[in-house]
Amino acid sequence: MNDDSSIVRLAATLREEAGRLRPGDRLPSSRELMRLYNVSPVTVSRALGQLAAEGRVVIRPGSGTYVAPAVTRTGDTADLSWQTVALGDRVVDDTEVTGLLTPPPDGVIPLTGGYLNPALRPSKALSAAASRALRRPDVWELPPLAGIPELRRWFAQEVGGDVTPSDALIVSGGQSALTHAFRALAAPGTPVLVETPAYPGALASARAAGLRATAVPMDRDGVRPELLAEAFAVTGARVFLCQPTLHNPTGATLPLERREQVLAIARAAGAFVIEDDYARYFTVAPAPPPMIALDAHGVVVHINSLTKVLSPNMRVAGVIARGPAARRLRASQVVESFFVSRPLQETALEFVGSPAWRRHLTALSAELTVRRDALAAALTAQMPAAEIHLVPRGGLHLWVRLPPDRDEETVVEAARRAGVLVSSGRIYYPAEPPGPRIRVTHSAAVHLPELAEGVRRLAAALDDL
């Protein structure tokens, strides 16, 4: 149950419990609350959110919910509860995304996260590119709203086919691109199809746009075309989000034949395909061409971001689209944020146009291969009861199935107490997960010894349960 009365009752119960505890004491986990009070995850999330808004608890993603420190106020305390009614029942839940972005505490090894460890980033070369960019005479001038022409040309050339610079739009990173695409292509309240499992940031963005994420199953080669066609027919959806190359979290890469099938199915359904090509620079083996290069009918909206491959602060991405969809995307960009900072665009252009870009990709590919193999070998040797979904042709993660008798949240919490962070599998599913899974990342650790120690701690935590 997740109606308003259920939320109110659970919030009242937790309010009383928090009152009996001391500041800093931990409340039961979300899973425990669901079991104890027979409520849904949405009910738990909203009840805890209400208490957090009241200042009674502090939610720490990946750690838990704690009683807030006592605050001494002078005068009357403002009653902000009226906002609950004014805001309505739409929820923008950043819990899972914030958890993935939060740095680990000292002494804790991160086997989670979506960005490269600082040691793997080309920081000196980026600084040099920024210095050159800032010396350009027009760097502080207003940029073209769709992006500086040279950078749009570069993004168009990266995907090939008959894409032109006029098809490209520069936005503030891949997450922003997803948000623009969802808002531009689908009306609030309508369904959007997603691979399952799916990137949590995309799920959060779709929900914030008022869309209903509907799962389409995958296998080791990516989304299953026959089930995609069925999902379009059953739901009437007009948008399908996919990551065809090194899918997050499974690592699957969609073969050329399936890419062509997906395009044909979407075109027959009169639907768009949002191609999140986030991992195009993380491949260590040749991948099929992006779907935008195979698309002659304006079906695909393609996203290519520089953030993950360079730095969390390089919030520059190219969105490629055609026709009325492209015009709507550009309008969305202007209405929401006008344009991307010109100094940042110029820095990106300086870097990708320099020899440092290719050197970085070559070195990164070699390092990621070593890390992937080391992680896979350590998991196989130390956690034989777990199963790696597949060893991908690159990427940053491995998708691991835990023994069916293990509780996923308990494993993640035990690992945290043992000093290692992993991603809970449930956050990757728009509906009920099929079983206990975790995502393990090899790109966030400082070096191979730390990666090995992280797996040792994870295995010990699993064995102790």
Residue with tokens 């896979």: 376
Residue with tokens 């040792």: 456
Nearest CA among 406, 461, 409, 415 for reference residue 441? 415
Sheet holding 423-424, edge to edge: 387-388, 397-401, 437-441, 423-424
pLDDT the model gives residue 364: 94
pLDDT the model gives residue 86: 81
List of residues 6+ apart from 358 with CB closer than 8 A? none
Question: Is 70 exceeded by the pLDDT of residue 96?
Answer: no
Is the distance from CB of 430 to CB of 214 less than 8 angstroms?
Answer: yes
CATH number of 101-121+358-464: 3.90.1150.10
Question: Is 90 exceeded by the pLDDT of residue 24?
Answer: no
pLDDT in tens, 212-240: 999 999 999 999 999 999 999 999 999 99
Q: State the maximum Cα–Cα separation within the chain, in Å, rounded to a whole number.
A: 69
SS3 224: coil
Is 4-90 in CATH node 1.10.10.10?
yes
List of residues 6+ apart from 443 with CB closer than 8 A? 113, 115, 116, 117, 120, 368, 371, 396, 397
Nearest CA among 308, 310, 315 for reference residue 340? 315
pLDDT the model gives residue 433: 85
- For the chain, the average pLDDT equals 90
Joined tokens for residue 100: 């993935």
Is the distance from CB of 239 to CB of 206 less than 8 angstroms?
Answer: no
- CA–CA distance, 187 with 211 (Å, rounded to integer): 7
Q: Give the least confident one: 78-87, 203-212, 289-298, 324-333.
A: 78-87
pLDDT the model gives residue 2: 45
**Residue 286 preceded by cis peptide, ω within 30:** no
- CA–CA distance, 292 with 302 (Å, rounded to integer): 6
Q: Could you state, in order of their start, the residue ranges of all structural domains in the chain? A: 4-90, 101-121+358-464, 123-353
42 exposed, middle or buried (CB, 10 Å; 0-12, 13-18, 19+)? middle
H or E segment at 360? helix 355-382
When pLDDT is cut at 50, 70 and 90, the band that residue 74 belongs to is: low
Question: Is 80 exceeded by the pLDDT of residue 80?
Answer: no
The string of DSSP codes covering 123-182 is: HHHHHHHHHHHHTSTTTTSPPPTT--HHHHHHHHHHH-TT--GGGEEEESHHHHHHHHHH
What's 123-353's CATH class?
alpha beta
